Amino acid sequence: MAGAPDQTYSEIVSDRRSIRGYLDKPVPREVIEEVLALAIRSPSSMNTQPWHFHVITGEALDRIREGNTERILAGEPDSREFRRGEPFAGVHRERQVGVAKQLFGAMGIEREDKDGRQDWVLRGFRQFDAPVCVIVTYDRELSGSDDTAFDCGAVTTALVNAAWSRGLGCVINSQGIMQSPVVREHAGIPDDQIIMKAIAMGWPDPDFPANAVVSERKSVEEAARFVGFG
């Protein structure tokens, strides 16, 4: 399902996909350290390296899952710290809906199945029941810098590709950090850092239907313009 260290970079980038179902199998700390050592080679604006990684497993992760789920079911409002912008519209909304249809189809969740849809949403608040969750934060003193968000996005991309090269799967998600007080408390995140993203990580379950989903991508022709090439 996932990659291996002898894969080429092109193979890793082309084969990687978001993993939403995991084996009940711990991930050794040394493997995660390998992944992080590769990820932090990511470029950053003027070498600021604004990122921090809080790698959580075991009881601490269980407490975050429970707190997230309890608060969302109780109707607690979203307390996400990083800006979220307006809801998607137009073609961006179409792509969002498109991948949701792919996932629901793979999982056999019908449009009228409200319980099934809610359970799927709650999986996100539980970090998809992965054995490891990586919380990406950045220094609060950089909160006004657009470069910082760009840099953290770059290092997160590097992290999920590096994880894939070690046989691990990941999915980047925001649901896992929407109840930020819960995350901050149980992960022990300092006040001088802003919580940006959650990354679920673990060994992919080859029998989990949604793991077979490969989202549709824009072509180079759609995404790029070439100027001055004759």
> Mean pLDDT over all residues of the chain?
94
Q: What is the pLDDT of residues 157-215, one digit of tens each?
A: 999 999 999 999 999 999 999 999 999 999 999 999 999 999 999 999 999 999 999 99
Instruction: Give the closest residue to 197 by CA, choosing from 187, 209, 210, 205.
Output: 187
Q: Once rounded to an integer, what is the mean pLDDT over residues 211-227? A: 94
Contact 133, 198 (CB under 8 A): yes
Q: Which residue would you say has higher pLDDT here, 86 or 52?
A: 52
* CA 183 – CA 96 distance, rounded (Å): 26
Report the DSSP beta bridge partners of residue 138: 51, 194
Q: Once rounded to an integer, what is the mean pLDDT over residues 85-93? A: 91
Confidence at residue 4, expressed as pLDDT on a 0 to 100 scale: 81
Confidence of residue 86 (pLDDT cuts 50, 70, 90): confident
pTM tops 0.85, yes or no: yes
Confidence at residue 3, expressed as pLDDT on a 0 to 100 scale: 81
Whether the per-residue pLDDT at 20 is higher than 80: the answer is: yes
Report the DSSP beta bridge partners of residue 170: 18, 201
* CA 190 – CA 167 distance, rounded (Å): 31
Instruction: Give the closest residue to 57 by CA, choosing from 167, 156, 133, 137.
Output: 133
Give how far Cα 102 sits from Cα of 41, 95, 97, 109, Å: 33, 11, 9, 10
Q: What is the pLDDT of residues 94-123, one digit of tens each?
A: 999 999 999 999 999 998 899 999 999 899
Confidence at residue 64, expressed as pLDDT on a 0 to 100 scale: 96
Whether the per-residue pLDDT at 89 is higher than 90: the answer is: yes
Instruction: Give the closest residue to 4 by CA, choosing from 24, 26, 12, 38.
Output: 12
Q: What is the pLDDT of residues 131-156, one digit of tens each?
A: 999 999 999 999 889 999 999 999 99
Confidence at residue 5, expressed as pLDDT on a 0 to 100 scale: 81
Confidence at residue 129, expressed as pLDDT on a 0 to 100 scale: 96
